[in-house]
Structure 1
Amino acid sequence: MTCGAPLDVKDKVSDSGWREAPRLRDMTEFRFSGSTCQVEGELVPVAEINLSPQDAVYFEHHVLLWKDESSPLSSLKTQGGMKRSLGGMPHIITVANGPGRVAFSRDAPGELVVLPLHPGMELDVREHAFLLASHSIEYSFVRIKGLANVLHGGSGMFMDRFVTAQYPGLLLLHGNGNVLERTLRPGEKILVEPGGFLYKDSTVQMQAVQLPLRSGLMGRQSMYLAEMAGPGRVGIQSMYVHHHASE
């Protein structure tokens, strides 16, 4: 299982190959390491984690909804400090350690995407989309120079990068609206509105492309899209928000 969907839910795939991420039922519970995660609610879903003493999860501090008083918090400094701050990205990540219960949500309607990461996996996620990750997953970031530049004249789109080494881990994302996933064959390309991009395997190459549009005899307009080239998975969200502070 790579998407975190309940095992008794059948895949729903469109004619063009987009797989609908099955919406997790209210009060769905699953395990990772020695801990459990329960999804509560559907419109603005909440992830409630019951951490075992040996486990921890990290997150952007503003997604914390509530926690047990006894559950300790600490901080994890990320690479890139000032560059991330100027781009509107947090340069300090908060860590919740077990034992204890802690809950998370984002202030937007949508659905939670549960992504178990096996050893040796690497996933890129759009800025401000990850909800939490288990402590066994390494965290860094990359910047795509061009996607936001051509759209808003900014410094580029930041992506969070999650990598597993010898141990598996669990990654939870929040997708605005509905989430769809498609697996690209080697060399297969699709064009995606940059605001709709949610996540991709690191093997998928991503760059900005400009499409000229004719508008009358002398007029010309352009559309800027993100070109995704396989192999690997691409995840999109049907409702998107451009974070102007990071662009």
Structure 2
Amino acid sequence: MTEFQFGQSTCQVEGEIVPVAELNLAPGDAVYFEHHVLLWKDDITPMSTMPLQGGIKRVLAGMPFIISVANGPGRVAFSRDATGELVVLPLHPGMELDVREHAFLLASHHINYSFVRVKGLRNILFGGQGMFMDRFVTGPTPGMLILHGYGNVFERVLRPGESIMVEPGAFLYKDSSVTMDVEFVQLTSGWFGGSTMSLARMTGPGRVGIQSMYVHHHTE
């Protein structure tokens, strides 16, 4: 069991196959989430909904435009009905994080939830992300973001100009300072010709989160 603190509240992550995030919300603290990830809550924990920015664009893109909110005080627990790992990411003031679709579990109310369009036809068709990525931005107050990754999740920190090539379905998150471009790699096999594979080139500076189970947009 691992414990984290945000604001005056605490978060405990426990379980291995399908982990659960259990939060003890203090008065004045809140988290938002999509309703289907709620596992249980105290009967005293107030619930509400919150509209998101870009409502019409979100509807056209098949993304949620109204999200659920749990307000303190009280305990509430969340889980995604899939094997994997819950990644708790403290976000400091001014940080921006880009996240693949369907990976978001919850965020503290100080974090702004928006989205960015994936640029380039090659990235859209072969990048495994679809046309949009979620973007989470902190203002002057720090916050906490929790993501669900399939399999195990590993983080690489890239120096300015440093690149790694990632299987597109393994990408989970990146700092907005990291650029992403899909490249085709030619595989040769002597007399028998070769084949081509697509990989996402991630170029720093910044963090890149990689999940060990490949998930492609058209199969999610």
TM-score computed with the length of structure 1 as normaliser: 0.80
Partner of 1:91: 65
Q: Percent identity?
A: 71
Judged with a 3 Å threshold, the aligned counterparts in structure 2 of structure 1 residues 150 and 32 are, in CA distance, closer, same or farther, namely closer
Paired amino acid for 1:163: V
1:239 aligns with 2:217: no
Q: Deviations over 1:99-128 (max 9, x none)?
A: 111110011111111111111111111111
Task: Output the CA distance in 1 between the equivalents of 2:187 and 2:43.
Answer: 57
Deviations 1:186-234 (Å, cap 9, x if unpaired)?
A: 1111111111001111110112222234467696632111110111111
Gaps of 5+ in 1: 1-25
Which of 110, 134, 144 lines up with 2:118 in the alignment?
144
In the TM superposition, residue 84 of structure 1 has moved relative to its aligned partner by 3.0
Match for 1:42 among 13, 16, 28?
A: 16
1:174 equivalenced with 2:174 (yes/no): no
Would you say the 8 A contact 1:131–1:174 is kept in 2? yes
Shift of 1:49: 0.9
| Aligned residue runs from structure 1 range 65-144, under 5 A | 65-144=39-118
Q: Give, as a single letter, the amino acid of the residue that structure 2 aligns with 1:149.
A: L
**CA-based RMSD:** 2.2
- Kindly indicate whether the alpha-carbon contact (under 8 Å) linking 1:127 and 1:157 is maintained by their aligned counterparts in 2: no
Letter of the 1:225 partner, please give it.
Answer: L
Segments of structure 2 that go 5 or more residues without pairing to the other structure are none
Structure 1 stretch displaced more, 161-170 or 35-44: 35-44
Change (3 A) 1:168 1:31: same
Find the counterpart in structure 2 of residue 189 from structure 1: 163
* Distance change >3 Å, CA 34–CA 151, structure 1 → 2: closer
Work out whether residues 162 and 204 of structure 2, in 8 Å CA contact, stay in contact via their aligned partners in 1.
yes
TM-score by length of 2: 0.89
What whole-Å deviation, never above 9, does each CA across 1:146-191 have from its counterpart, x for those lacking one?
A: 3341368xx9342111111111111111111111111111111111
